[in-house]
A and B are shown apart, each in its own frame.
Chain A
Amino acid sequence: MAYSATAESHDHHDHRPSGIWRWLSTTNHKDIGTLYLIFAGVMFFVGGSMAMVIRLELFKPGMQFVDPAFFNSMTTVHALAMIFGGVMPAWVGLANWMIPLQVGAPDMALPRMNNFSFWLLPFAFTLLLIGFFVPGGAPAGGWTLYPPLVLQGGDSFPLAVFAIHLMGASSIMGAINVIVTIMNMRAPGMTLLRMPLFVWTWLITAYLLIAVMPVLAGAVTMLLTDHFFGTSFFSASGGGDPVMFQHVFWFFGHPEVYILILPAFGVVSEVIPTFSRKPLFGYEAMVYATASIAFLSFIVWAHHMFTVGMPLAGELFFMLSTMLIAIPTGVKVFNWSATMWKGSLTFEPPMLFCLAFLFLFTIGGFSGLMLAIAPADFQYQDTYFVVAHFHYVLVPGSIFTIIAAVYYWLPKWTGHMYNMTLAKWHFWLSTIFVNVLFFPQHFLGLAGMPRRIPDYATQFADWNMVSSIGGFGFGLSQLLFPYIVIKCIRGGEKAAARVWEGAHGLEWELPSPTPYHTWETPPSIALIHKGGEHWTEDGDDA
């Protein structure tokens, strides 16, 4: 990478193997962060090309390109690749890069485990993706893996289960590393309530991961034994219950949604203050709101299952508890808006992507509130309305903020500025096309189009064509991203230590590019106060 040349001269004791062995054996949090981010980038394009196949087949009514079974594999593996291969590793990569820099630690607490948790991922996704070449084809029962359907899968079924085991192990190790680092390796004076919000949201995310990844691993293991060893956890004929799987799955699944989005809240809480030139409004409220969302995420899971035939009391409970999530989420949106209020705003690419987040994630929140209303959900459930909802919170929600985070910290990592004009093009194309892609899906769902179907009645044709055009536009515009990033790594205008005028925090006290080893001597209290969340012009703590 480009920063290595500078780092070598800067750091006298910087011994590391060269070539591929450096990357295989590395225990450096920056190298591992880079590996995670590259892996996530590759998986975004793998999952994205599957989305292109889906939108191509749905471009007009009639089956034109793929068999329905292959179409089901596309929707299933698209989701698994994007969630477990794209968004989650991208957040772990950003955590690896930024948490030690932001809390003044020399590295992650458990560097060897860090290496191991990354290198499990390529194996996990090899297992998942070779499913396309085994008898029966790739998993096609949906990423939610509901039995009995999932048990009809071919040889790819056990492969997918083992892939999920490996991803889970990797995530748990990553989460342990984050928690131990934050709890034990903060520089003296970096108290918990002085930590940047990205660190806070990741700390809470890590606890969620440790709580729910074992639940998913248990659920898929029970599927495995049901299939191969004659158990009947989820089979009524053997005294089991297929709905029990859904309860267990969504006990994992709903917190998982926040695993994908909480770090995004952290990034937005860094970027908006920087480009508003104002400290974050309501810092402590943000921390408590994040913690409340995490707590609520454990008691709302059955809102994914309003149509399974729960008792009335159950439906009521899950409807009301789900509605409660609107309160802490609202607090966050209001705090971000208040941060911009009486600020001094500029619109560099990271800020633009976070603004798109602010508007479009809120739209996803509105449809989420509508989906919480159980009787109305009887109409929305399993339709394109749901598809529109979760893509609004995941694409302009998680993925836009990952892009924002990369555009925010890339000059810090590489020491170079990237092409701002191209990055703004990337923003405008992404934002326009993401709406062309997903907004019509609200209409399709309300008009009665179920999700996960390869072909549809002709009255759904027009909006599907619009959506597909948006999809192709969105997919193509993402090619700008690797181009901009790679060009920036190769060279470009020299970046200052404090890349953005309004940026505050310990990472901006380090040179750009960051040396290979940082904070070997912890930052001084004065530096922490200057960079802390409650910064003021003169460096005192407010």
Chain B
Amino acid sequence: MNMKKLATAIATVTVALASPAAFAAWTLNMTPGITAISRRVYDLHMIMYWWCVAIAIFVFGWMIYSLVRFRKSQGAVPDTKLVHNTKAEIIWTVLPVLILIIMAVPATRTLIETDDASKSELTIRITGYQWKWGYQYVDSGVEVLSTLDHASNAARQLGSGIDPTTVPDYLLNVDHPLVVPAGVKVRLLISAQDVIHSWWVPALAIKKDAIPGFVNEAWFKIDTDKTGLYRGQCAELCGRDHGFMPIVIDVRSKADFEAWLKTQQAMQRPADPAAAAVATAGDAAAPTG
């Protein structure tokens, strides 16, 4: 390969890597998410990462230096008396302790923050089933059952012959997403019917086990400008179709959310046929992801 061809190849690869589509596929890192907490978790993750990089540079640098410098083939003579050095040993015990303390402070602070679910304005019950999610808006009684969408389900059958890349949001799409308001503190009560599942939406930095017979609590408050669809998956092995029970949250403005909730309420209790008709029309117009 001549230099010109090589340069073209490198340029092509660079452009490909720099394009947004390629970035989407070759994702390297965690999402900073859409809540204050998720950003704190992301920051914590990055702080830990950079600490590890710094320690790695020191430790690996030391090792590599020894590997290069003290080779027998280069005539290195061993210093067999060097088996102990109190000063060095104290340093490499105490220094890590200090670094760990520095790491523990923000970690503890974030942990305490994630734990405080008080003063929530909306409560949603989440129930894990083999293999779907049930959502119930506790105050209004609205219920939503959320399963893998038809297109993904058809494509994921063994020998379906359907190319997954032709299915939009393959395996990350559901028939009915969980609709939530932005800018409102929402409390989740998470449980399960049959086996343990785990409700995980990376954009919220929430992963909480859904355990039959027990109720777990979590909360989030999404930034008002972060409306849209966000996706997650069941994270605890729950049997044959564990890989096929995704989670989609549909974040709407507070007003849009309330309107949606009202139509759902009317539709699920069709005492008044007129309200039900309006609700159906409204639902069809709404984006379902």
Which residues of A approach B to under 8 Å, CB–CB? 61-64, 66-69, 72, 140-142, 146, 148-149, 152, 235-237, 241-243, 276-283, 285, 307-309, 312, 315-316, 319-320, 323-324, 326-327, 330-331, 333-334, 337-338, 340-346, 355, 358-359, 362-363, 366, 369-370, 373-376, 378-379, 381-383, 443, 446-448, 450, 452-459, 461-463, 502, 534, 536-537, 542
Residues of the A chain whose Cβ atoms lie less than 8 Å from the Cβ of B111: 312, 315-316, 319, 374-375
> Are B82 and A370 within 8 A (Cβ)?
no
Number of A-B contacts (CB under 8 A): 291
Distance A313 CA – B214 CA, assembled complex (angstroms): 19
Judge whether B108 is part of the interface by a CB distance below 8 angstroms: yes
A366: chain B residues at CB < 8 Å are 52, 55-56
Contact at A536–B97, with CB atoms within 8 Å? no
Provide the residues of chain A in CB contact with B110, threshold 8 Å. Answer: 375
Is B80 part of the contact surface with A, judged by Cβ < 8 Å? yes
Can you sample 22 A-B contacts with CB below 8 Å? Answer: A148-B196, A309-B211, A309-B217, A323-B103, A326-B100, A327-B100, A330-B93, A334-B88, A337-B62, A337-B66, A338-B82, A342-B76, A342-B79, A344-B78, A369-B103, A375-B41, A378-B205, A448-B232, A450-B200, A463-B26, A534-B83, A542-B83
Interface pair B207/A307, CB less than 8 Å apart: yes
The segment from B221-229, B236-244, B263-271, B278-286 found at the interface with A is: B236-244
User: Any chain A CB within 8 A of the CB of B20?
Assistant: no
Q: Which residues of the other chain, B, contact A66 by a CB distance below 8 angstroms?
A: 158
Instruction: Sort A-B residue pairs by CB-CB distance and give the 4 closest, nearest first.
Output: A236-B213, A453-B243, A447-B27, A309-B216
B205–A62 CB distance below 8 A: no
- Give the distance in Å from the alpha carbon of A281 to the alpha carbon of B78 in the complex: 13
A204 to chain B: closest CB distance in Å? Answer: 19
B231-259: contact bitstring with A at CB < 8 Å (1 yes, 0 no)? 01111111111111000000000000000
B175 at the interface (CB under 8 A from A): no
Contacts of A452 in B (CB 8 A): 237, 242-243
Residues on A with beta carbons closer than 8 Å to the beta carbon of B87: none
Q: Do B96 and A326 have beta carbons less than 8 Å apart?
A: yes
B59:A373 contact, CB within 8 angstroms: no
Please give, as numbers and ranges, the residues of chain A lying within 8 Å of B212 by CB-CB distance.
148, 236-237, 242
Chain B residues bordering chain A, tally (CB within 8 A): 97
Contact A362 B27 (CB under 8 A): no
Q: Are B72 and A281 in contact (CB under 8 A)?
A: no
Contacts of B81 in A (CB 8 A): 542
Question: How distant is the Cα of A374 from the Cα of B237 in the complex, in angstroms?
Answer: 20
Cβ-defined partner of B214 (8 Å) among A142, A236, A327, A456: A236
- Which residues in B have their C-beta under 8 angstroms from that of A320? 104, 108
Q: A149 to B82, alpha carbons, bound, how many Å?
A: 55
- Could you tell me if B164 and A458 are in contact, using CB atoms closer than 8 angstroms? yes
Residue of B at shortest CB range from A285? Answer: B89
Q: Are B211 and A243 in contact (CB under 8 A)?
A: yes
The answer to whether A378 touches B114 (Cβ under 8 A) is yes
Q: Which of B195, B217, B244 has the most CB of A within 10 A?
A: B195
Bound Cα distance A86, B289 (Å): 47
Give every chain B residue within 8 A of A455 (Cβ-Cβ).
156, 164, 171, 243-244
Task: Report Cα–Cα, A122/B158, bound state, in Å.
Answer: 35
- Name 16 extra pairs, CB < 8 A, besides A455-B164, A457-B172: A61-B170, A63-B160, A67-B240, A152-B239, A283-B83, A342-B76, A345-B71, A370-B48, A373-B45, A376-B45, A381-B198, A381-B207, A443-B26, A448-B232, A462-B26, A542-B83
Among candidates B31, B85, B104, B157, residue contacting A63 with C-beta atoms closer than 8 Å? B157
In chain B, what residue has the closest Cβ to A320?
A: B104
Cβ-closest chain B residue relative to A144: B237
In the complex, A75→B11 CA distance in Å? Answer: 41
B78–A340 CB distance below 8 A = no
State whether A278 touches B80 (Cβ < 8 A): yes
Given A237-B213, A344-B72, A376-B48: A327 and B27 within 8 A (CB)? Answer: no
Contact of A457 among B104, B171, B206, B216 (CB under 8 A): B171
- Which B residues, 55 to 76, have Cβ-Cβ distances below 8 Å to chain A? 55-56, 59-60, 62-63, 66-67, 70-73, 76
What residues on A are CB-neighbors of B119 within 8 Å?
none
Instruction: Give bound CA distance, A529 to B55, whole Å.
Output: 38
Given contact pairs A375-B44, A452-B242, A309 touches B214 in the complex (Cβ within 8 A):
yes
Residues in chain B near residue A323, CB distance under 8 A = 100, 103-104
Asked if A376 and B44 sit within 8 Å, CB to CB, the answer is yes
CB distance from A271 to the nearest CB of B (A): 14
A338 touches B85 (CB 8 A): yes
CB <8 Å contact, A281 and B84: yes
- Closest A residue to B109 by beta carbon equals A375
B56: nearest chain-A partner, CB-CB: A366
Contacts of A344 in B (CB 8 A): 70-72, 76-78
| B163 contacts chain A at the CB level, 8 A cutoff | yes
Quote the shortest CB–CB distance from A363 to chain B (angstroms): 8
Cβ-defined partner of B237 (8 Å) among A141, A308, A376, A381: A141
Tell me the B141-191 residues at the A interface (CB within 8 Å): 155-160, 162-165, 169-172
Given contacts A327-B97, A369-B52, contact A375 B237 (CB under 8 A): no
Pick the contact of A346 from B55, B60, B73, B207 — CB < 8 Å?
B73
Q: Is the CB of B171 within 8 A of A456?
A: yes
Does B155 lie within 8 Å of A62, measured CB to CB? Answer: yes
In the bound complex, CA of A319 to CA of B110 (Å): 12
Are A319 and B172 in contact (CB-based, < 8 A)?
no
With A62-B155, A242-B211 as contacts: A148 and B195 at CB distance below 8 Å:
yes
Q: Indicate if the CB atoms of A338 and B169 lie closer than 8 Å.
A: no
Please, how many angstroms separate the alpha-carbon atoms of A242 and B89 in the complex? 44
| Contact present for A278 and B171 (CB under 8 Å) | no
Does any Cβ of A come within 8 Å of B40's Cβ?
Answer: yes
Contacts of B162 in A (CB 8 A): 62
